Amino acid sequence: MTDLLDQRLAGSAETWREGAVPPRVPDSLRVDRSLPASERLARWKQRHHERAEHARTVFADSRSPERGLPVARSRKAFVFVGELLRTRRRALAAMIGFNVLAAAAALVVPRMIGDLVDEATAGASLAQTDTVLLVILAVVLANALFTFAAKRAGAVLGYDLLAAAREHVVETVLRLPLGKVEAASSGDLITRITSDVNKMSITVRWSLPYLVTSVTMVVLTVVALLLNSWLLTLPLLLSALMLTLAVRAYLKSAISGYITESATYSTINATMTETVEGARTVEALGLAELRQRRLDDDIEESAQAERYTMSLRNLLFIWLDFAFQVPLVLVVLLGTWGFDAGLVTVGQVTTAAIYLQQLVGPLDRLIQVLDHLQVGVAATTRLLGVAEVPDDRTPGEARPAASDLVGRDLRFAYRADHDVLHGVDVALRPGERLAIVGPSGSGKSTLGRLLAGINRPRTGVVSVGDVDVMDLPLPVLRTEVCLVTQEHHVFVGSLRDNVVLAREGDATDADVTAALDAVDASDWVAKLPEGLDTLLGHGRTELTPAQAQQVALARLVVADPHTLVLDEATSLIDPRTARHLEGSMAALLGDRTVVAIAHRLHTAHDADRIAVVIDGRIAELGSHDDLLAADGEYAHLWRTWRS
Ligand code: ADP
């Protein structure tokens, strides 16, 4: 993959050097090259604007079937940062204060040099010059100290802001509705919490402090210029005009340009992740070339998006150079004329020239900061967009008094107008064991997810003790009904932390040991070097898939819900162990209600009742013996499995 990418990049670099059209531009991006450059740029601008708007509106409608996470409005990013700054007024004041002192010190020196020039012209004595030089030295030292303090204050504030912003992102991501996370492309979410957090962090850590420094320096320099001579300040007006026009034109297109650019990174990530995750399918169906082409297109699109923002920057820089250099020339010309007319002294011209020279640095940095702020704002709107995913539940006050789980008229669609469940009714008797069997894709897992309150049914309701499961706060819901799937995550942390996860606070070591015992894990746990304190996870003690599954089950035992939905929860363990495990689980669970979604029919055999799901409907419901006697779908499945 990397080699191909390198070859391709090398290839396109070659083509670019020759000034030819890049090899393969996706049709959707082809811009007629016979058009004049300005027209091409205008079309690009239009397209980027449309895309950014599109990215913003997708998911504004919560039922939008389109995959992707929303993007917040730019204003929200400013409100967010403003809110963070409001709670850190002292740090902000310290940073601004030191910057003002540093800038003031920096501005004293040119004024003194100007005075020195005037005095020298008037024939002042050497002793006076020495004193002035000593004062200049002291001011330069003070400037260095203030600059250090300002930078330090900026860094402290920047890192503090970054920490707060990161915490916000983590909180937001953790409270995302599970159904929505799964529906959104994983590439998008990953890009947002890696690349976008990075960009935001650069903005917060670097751009904000520099913004304060540069603005202070620019404002104070203009004031100093005016105090020095209003006549010699006039050339700055021309600069200001050029800068305003250039920066306004830039800003108009930049935000949408950067949002589109980030969206293309998400697309590349999504294509890559999907290809890698589905490598076997890709291989089995011979899709390699197709996926490769798709990735090529994504990269090309991303390159186009980057080229667009780069063009915007390049255009901006041309104007910046003009705006910085022209006033210096004008000051010299105007100064010569003013001196002749007796309006200014040579010292004033010297001071003005030094001030203008001093202004180039902060102005240049200010523009750079504005550029970074665009990237930062775009990244922040994408991060804040994650928080705009509408919550799929509104917890109410009612708490279930009983433990009977009932589903009525359950319908559910992953894509609009494509129901995968067609009005399922199911009522669990407390303490019973219900097995759900049926062909693959018939909707068993979906039914399990609805019963466990992970997804909200499109119609109908799942209630526990007559309270809608979607009206229960998640921590309460988890003590009522839990879902166990084949995917088990072992978190980095001790074995104990991993087990008490769902009931942190009041679970004792004895509870943990009892839970591990109940899931038949005590043998291997006894062999762990540090028992419950053994650190698990990547790079530490790694568990086998079967052990991870046992830890997940032990987690449930500790969480202690009255109803469990097991979605092929024991499939990674070999059949004999599975049977044993289920046996000990059964002994422990006692009067708990269990819904077991199973491929292995022995689970069904042991169950009190069996629901056969076919094409999103419960086709048969009854005990093993009843269903065999009825000689329907189940009897057929059973006979096939037996033989
Ligand atoms: P089973 O558990 O019986 O194999 P599922 O409940 O997993 O069936 O799936 C039922 C139907 O819903 C299938 O057609 C499947 O392709 C579809 N489906 C399942 N999960 C998703 C998803 N995340 N997005 C879109 N369609 C899905």
The closest residue, in CA terms, to atom 18 on ligand 1 is: 414
Q: Per-residue pLDDT averaged across 419-446, rounded?
A: 90
Q: Which atom of ligand 1 is nearest to the CA of 442?
A: 3
Domain ranges of the chain: 74-387, 405-642
Q: Say what the pLDDT of residue 396 is.
A: 85
The Cα–Cα gap between 604 and 597 comes to 9
Give me the percent of the chain exceeding a pLDDT of 90.
24
The closest residue, in CA terms, to atom 13 on ligand 1 is: 441
Residue 64 Cα to ligand 1 midpoint, Å, equals 18
Q: Which atom of ligand 1 is nearest to the CA of 448?
A: 6
> Is the per-residue pLDDT at 12 higher than 70?
no
- Beta bridge partner(s), residue 437: 612
Residue 422 Cα to ligand 1 midpoint, Å, equals 13
Q: Which atom of ligand 1 is nearest to the CA of 415?
A: 25
Tell me the per-residue pLDDT of 488-498, one tens digit each, with 9 for 90 and over: 778 888 999 88
Q: Say what the pLDDT of residue 3 is.
A: 39
Question: CB under 8 Å to 517, separation ≥6 — which residues?
Answer: none
> Is the per-residue pLDDT at 64 higher than 50?
no
Best probe residue, ligand 1, of 442, 597, 613 (max atoms within 8 Å of C-beta): 442
Q: Say what the pLDDT of residue 20 is.
A: 31
CA 119 distance to own-chain centroid? 61
Tell me the per-residue pLDDT of 236-287, one tens digit each, with 9 for 90 and over: 999 889 988 988 888 888 877 887 888 888 889 888 988 888 888 889 988 8
Q: Per-residue pLDDT averaged across 368-376, rounded?
A: 81
Residue 55 Cα to ligand 1 midpoint, Å, equals 27
The closest residue, in CA terms, to atom 1 on ligand 1 is: 441
Residue 187 and residue 272 in contact, taking contact as beta carbons nearer than 8 Å:
yes
Residue 23: pLDDT band with limits 50, 70, 90:
very low
Residue 68 Rama label (left phi>0; alpha psi -120 to 50; beta): left
Q: Which atom of ligand 1 is nearest to the CA of 443?
A: 6
Q: Say what the pLDDT of residue 269 is.
A: 87
Residue 76 Cα to ligand 1 midpoint, Å, equals 36
The DSSP code for 28 is: G
Q: Which atom of ligand 1 is nearest to the CA of 446?
A: 6
Predicted model pTM: 0.62
Q: Per-residue pLDDT averaged across 339-344, rounded?
A: 92
Residues whose beta carbon lies within 6 Å of some atom of ligand 1: 182, 414, 420, 438, 440-446
Question: What dihedral angle (degrees, nearest 10) is formed by the CA atoms of 428, 433, 439, 445?
Answer: 60
Best probe residue, ligand 1, of 66, 424, 446 (max atoms within 8 Å of C-beta): 446
Q: Per-residue pLDDT averaged across 604-626, rounded?
A: 90
Q: Per-residue pLDDT averaged across 94-108, rounded?
A: 91
**Tokens 């008797």, residue located:** 429
The Cα–Cα gap between 183 and 579 comes to 34
Q: Per-residue pLDDT averaged across 557-569, rounded?
A: 82
Q: Which residue has the higher pLDDT, 407 or 579?
A: 407
Best probe residue, ligand 1, of 417, 436, 445, 454 (max atoms within 8 Å of C-beta): 445
Residue 339: pLDDT band with limits 50, 70, 90:
very high
Residue 168: pLDDT band with limits 50, 70, 90:
confident
Instruction: State the helix-helix crossing angle for 346-387 and 288-340, rounded to 10 degrees.
Output: 150
Question: Cβ–Cβ contacts within 10 Å for residue 258, how many?
Answer: 27
The Cα–Cα gap between 556 and 515 comes to 8
> Is the per-residue pLDDT at 97 higher than 70?
yes
Q: Say what the pLDDT of residue 484 is.
A: 78
The closest residue, in CA terms, to atom 16 on ligand 1 is: 441
Question: What dihedral angle (degrees, nearest 10) is formed by the CA atoms of 253, 258, 260, 265?
Answer: 160
**Tokens 């087990």, residue located:** 499
Superfamily classification of domain 74-387: ABC transporter type 1, transmembrane domain (1.20.1560.10)
CATH architecture of 405-642: 3-Layer(aba) Sandwich (3.40)
- Beta bridge partner(s), residue 617: 614
Residue 116 and residue 129 in contact, taking contact as beta carbons nearer than 8 Å:
yes
The closest residue, in CA terms, to atom 10 on ligand 1 is: 443
Q: Which residue has the higher pLDDT, 559 or 104?
A: 104
Residue 443 Cα to ligand 1 midpoint, Å, equals 6
Residue 280 Cα to ligand 1 midpoint, Å, equals 19
The closest residue, in CA terms, to atom 14 on ligand 1 is: 441
The closest residue, in CA terms, to atom 25 on ligand 1 is: 414
Q: Say what the pLDDT of residue 52 is.
A: 58
Dihedral of alpha carbons 134, 137, 139, 142, sign: negative
Q: Say what the pLDDT of residue 213 is.
A: 85
Residue 573: pLDDT band with limits 50, 70, 90:
low
Tell me the per-residue pLDDT of 116-140, one tens digit each, with 9 for 90 and over: 888 888 877 777 778 888 999 999 9
